[in-house]
Chain A
């Protein structure tokens, strides 16, 4: 069983719509959860972090965490072509080790 699982996509979204990305993780003691964005040919960059159950909003991005279901999601509102990228879910159980999922490729079509 993969430790952090994501649908590889591509997730095709019309411009202006909401993109919904999902991530499940296997380690119940995980404490910290992160979303990174990686443009093609570029390195990953952190866009959201969430530590407690519920929603966290930052601009057009909303992260949602449900520890009981071991599930974390990312919503991108008013999707723009510039949001086209691969989104990596990362989970930290303890210490300074992050475990990454395989990423979901998002394509926003004008």
Chain B
């Protein structure tokens, strides 16, 4: 198993659909992240879960709903999205330190390419 696995790799959905993205990490990490990567824009942090608790919600619209049932799994539930939400959604994991600066070492999945029609 690769370190961080994302499914599906490609998703096309209409604006009224409900779908979910799934992420699974096999690295024993204690933090998981959702990032959005759009063309010609920097990686945008969406959500952070540390020890299964959401510690960051970066002003993301409510049509995106994260879920972290355990430290190995992360979901992003999608509902009534807009065409501008079409992007690459990247999941990442890391091992957080209890003190001191983060190592900054994020392990990314291959991403889910989302197209909203």
Contacts and interface: CB of A to CB of B under 8 A. Distances in A.
B110 A43 contact: yes
A43 B111 contact: yes
Interface residues of B, number: 23
A88 B41 CA distance: 11
B80 interface: no
Secondary structure class of chain B's binding surface, majority of residues: loop
Contact of B103 (A44, A49, A103): A49
B55 A96 contact: yes
A96 B42 contact: no
Interface string A81-110: 000000010101001111111110000000
Contact of B42 (A46, A97, A101): A101
Contacts of B42: 2, 4, 88, 99-103
A95 B108 contact: no
Q: Which residue, A43, A88, A92, A101, has most C-beta atoms of chain B within 10 A? A: A43
Given A4-B42, A102-B41, 17 more contacts: A8-B40, A32-B101, A32-B102, A33-B104, A36-B106, A43-B108, A43-B110, A44-B90, A44-B106, A44-B108, A49-B103, A49-B105, A90-B104, A96-B102, A97-B56, A98-B45, A98-B102
Interface of B: 31, 40-43, 45, 48, 50, 55-56, 90, 94, 96, 101-106, 108-111
Interface of A: 2, 4, 8, 31-34, 36, 42-46, 49, 51, 88, 90, 92, 95-103
